[in-house]
Amino acid sequence: MSYVIGPACIDVNDRACMDVCPVDCIYEGGRKSYINPAECIDCGACEPECPVDAIFVDRSARGDDTRTLFVEDSRNFFLTVLPGRTTPLGEPGGSGKVGALYTDTELVTGYES
């Protein structure tokens, strides 16, 4: 189980969730933030802090096409080569080590809300 940040975060990117994450597993992209599913400890601290209710548990995506799309997209942020990068981000061990990335997945880059 992991938490996922959905489309409500796009162009809002409040960062309150990042401030409460005890393991620093929330990474800042260009238009939204992403939770690294391999680093998330499933504590849920981020979910109530989100002012736009964008954060959800990945298993709650079953039967919801949009949520399912964002579960996969969250994985892709860490497993694929993003624009402006030469390698996948992977598991760097905390967003503080890499800072804001100012890039997004293809889905988020082209997403119209």
**CATH value at residue 62:** 3.30.70.20
49 within 8 A of 17, measured Cβ to Cβ? yes
Residue 78 counted as domain residue: yes
Domain count across the chain? 1
Task: For residue 35, give the H/E element and its range.
Answer: strand 33-35
Residue 113 counted as domain residue: no
pLDDT tens sequence across 50-61: 999 999 999 999
Q: Where are the alpha helices (DSSP H) in the chain?
A: 16-20, 65-79, 106-109
Cα separation, 71 vs 73, whole angstroms: 5
Residue 44 counted as domain residue: yes
Report residue 103 CA to chain centroid gap: 12
Question: What would the mean pLDDT of 75-92 be, rounded to a whole number?
Answer: 96
pLDDT of residue 13: 87
Q: What is the span of the domain harbouring residue 57?
A: 3-104
Residue 56 counted as domain residue: yes
- Whole-structure pTM value: 0.95
